[in-house]
Chain A
């Protein structure tokens, strides 16, 4: 891994951690998932995954809401999903798809919003299963109670953030970094 990618991991992880602490009063409303997804989308699965892991290493261990080792591990490794899927999402676009970002901005935003919701659902199911296991609850009960309302708020906020934030953030990153692995800045 070159120094540029390491710097990108550090910067995006810092941004993710900083926004997490800034939004700590808003339960389950965070920009971290979007940042990890963008990292994976622009710089590949390894970078995306590492942004998620580094973010949770800091935010999970120094968390005013408390610490639980199994939940910490589950959130850390579930967060990786955003980065990895972000990278693979790029491959699901058609060859001329990235250019379509400018022409079909609303459709692209809805697309990213749906992806954000789906990834959040998977993330919440995994972490709620671990939470149910740790707390001794029935697993199905833990999934359902964890979903309403917290999981739903998580999904709705991520749908909003992904829908609204993906395209401008991808474009901004590609312009600043140079777009060597992110050609969405092509005119």
Chain B
């Protein structure tokens, strides 16, 4: 490179070009991604949802299709007949699942399987405030007591 006064200048220019071009492509694909997400409503993910009626009957809906950003409430609504009350001020309060309604002693509590601790974990927010992620496992458990005891594994 004897024809140049400073060969590092051209190398810097090349690196700058690379950075700018890469940034533009990243920006382009980010725009495309957002556009697709906006149009299709989300990317397909799959979750496992179980319903435990508290009488040793546990029904699993494995690989239930959902979309990114979808709440557990919506996923449950797609796989079961539910009634709920939104007037409690704590989100959608589940009153019954598949005809089994809460009463003075029993109610529906949702649990999430902790893949690290290998146990059921209660997340203390309403099911319509929790956005599910791919491959997560949930269990609706009809139970009594407070704090609610975890369901049997």
Contacts and interface: CB of A to CB of B under 8 A. Distances in A.
B117 interface: no
Interface residues on B, range: 10 to 19
Contacts of B16: 118
Question: What are the 8 tightest A-B residue pairs by CB atom distance, in nearest-first order?
Answer: A100-B3, A97-B3, A148-B28, A144-B27, A147-B24, A94-B5, A100-B2, A144-B28
Interface in B5-22: 5-6, 9-10, 13-14, 16-17, 20-21
A96 B28 contact: no
A99 B4 CA distance: 11
Q: Is the interface of B mostly helix, strand, loop or mixed?
A: helix
B2, B14, B24, most chain A CB atoms within 10 A: B24
Interface of B: 1-6, 9-10, 13-14, 16-17, 20-21, 24-25, 27-28, 31
A23 B3 CA distance: 33
A117 B3 CA distance: 19
Contacts of B1: 104, 107, 111
Given A118-B13, A152-B24, 5 more contacts: A97-B5, A101-B3, A111-B4, A114-B14, A144-B28
B4 A145 contact: no
Contact of B5 (A92, A111, A140): A92
A145 B31 CA distance: 9
Q: Is the interface of A mostly helix, strand, loop or mixed?
A: helix
A119 B18 CA distance: 14
A93 B4 contact: yes
Interface of A: 92-94, 96-101, 103-104, 107-108, 111, 114-115, 117-118, 121, 140-141, 143-145, 147-148, 151-152, 155
A93 B3 contact: yes
Contacts of B2: 94, 96-97, 100, 103-104
22 contacts: A93-B5, A94-B2, A94-B4, A97-B2, A97-B4, A101-B3, A103-B2, A104-B1, A107-B1, A111-B4, A111-B10, A114-B10, A114-B13, A114-B14, A114-B17, A118-B16, A121-B17, A121-B20, A140-B27, A144-B31, A152-B25, A155-B21
Contacts of A93: 3-5
B13 A108 contact: no
Contact of A92 (B4, B24, B28): B4
A140 B2 CA distance: 39
A108 B28 contact: no
